Structure 1
Amino acid sequence: MRKRRLGTTQPGHSGDNSEVSRVRTPRKDRNEVLATVACLLGSKRVTLQCMDGVVRMGRIPGSKKKRMWIREGDIVIANPWEVQDSKAEVIWKYTRPQVEWLERKGYIKY
């Protein structure tokens, strides 16, 4: 078993003071909106408070469930369903440095 030296980071893991070079923003032509996870409902489902003022039930697709660990308070991109506006797909989760960048640029207003 290899020992890891203290103070080093693993490849692919970003530290707290990492610089954000690119951040994915919601695309209006694809009907994407920013949302905050309000509540975890279980079984791949969450309650989303979307930035357009609508509370939607979000679904985490199976391809993203193992890769995205979503908690309450996380900022995500949601894609509302065309058939039923009260439901949406969660397609992207932001990291902490990306959320700070979105706040500085005015995408998120608290």
Structure 2
Amino acid sequence: MKFGGEVELVSGLEQFKAAISSPGASVVHFKSASNLQCKQISPFLDTLCGRYPSINFLKVDVEVSRAIAVVENVRILPTFKIYKNGTRVKEMVCPSPEVLESSVRHYSF
């Protein structure tokens, strides 16, 4: 796991399960390369990664990783889910950058 550096791209279901089960909080951005809203908010996730080094930031491209999208029941993009020690604690669909950062800040302690 890369903490406090860069957003980790997750492509396999086992890799995903291991990443969200790591100690602390994990923020997962479910995205699609062809989705305009995903393209707009994606750079902001990189910014948050620098601001909140204690959080594990992950991206899942649902076009590449259909299995993860199905298991996680992701239907609308972009979707963000926050996990704490493997348990989902928050889910946001198409959040504004302010709402996203507020949620990340809440779980960064």
TM-score in same-fold range (> 0.5): no
Structure showing the higher strand proportion among its residues:
1
TM-score, normalised on structure 2?
A: 0.28
TM-score, normalised on structure 1?
A: 0.28
Structure showing the higher helix proportion among its residues:
2
Higher relative contact order (CA 8 A, sep 6+): 2
Larger-Rg structure: 1
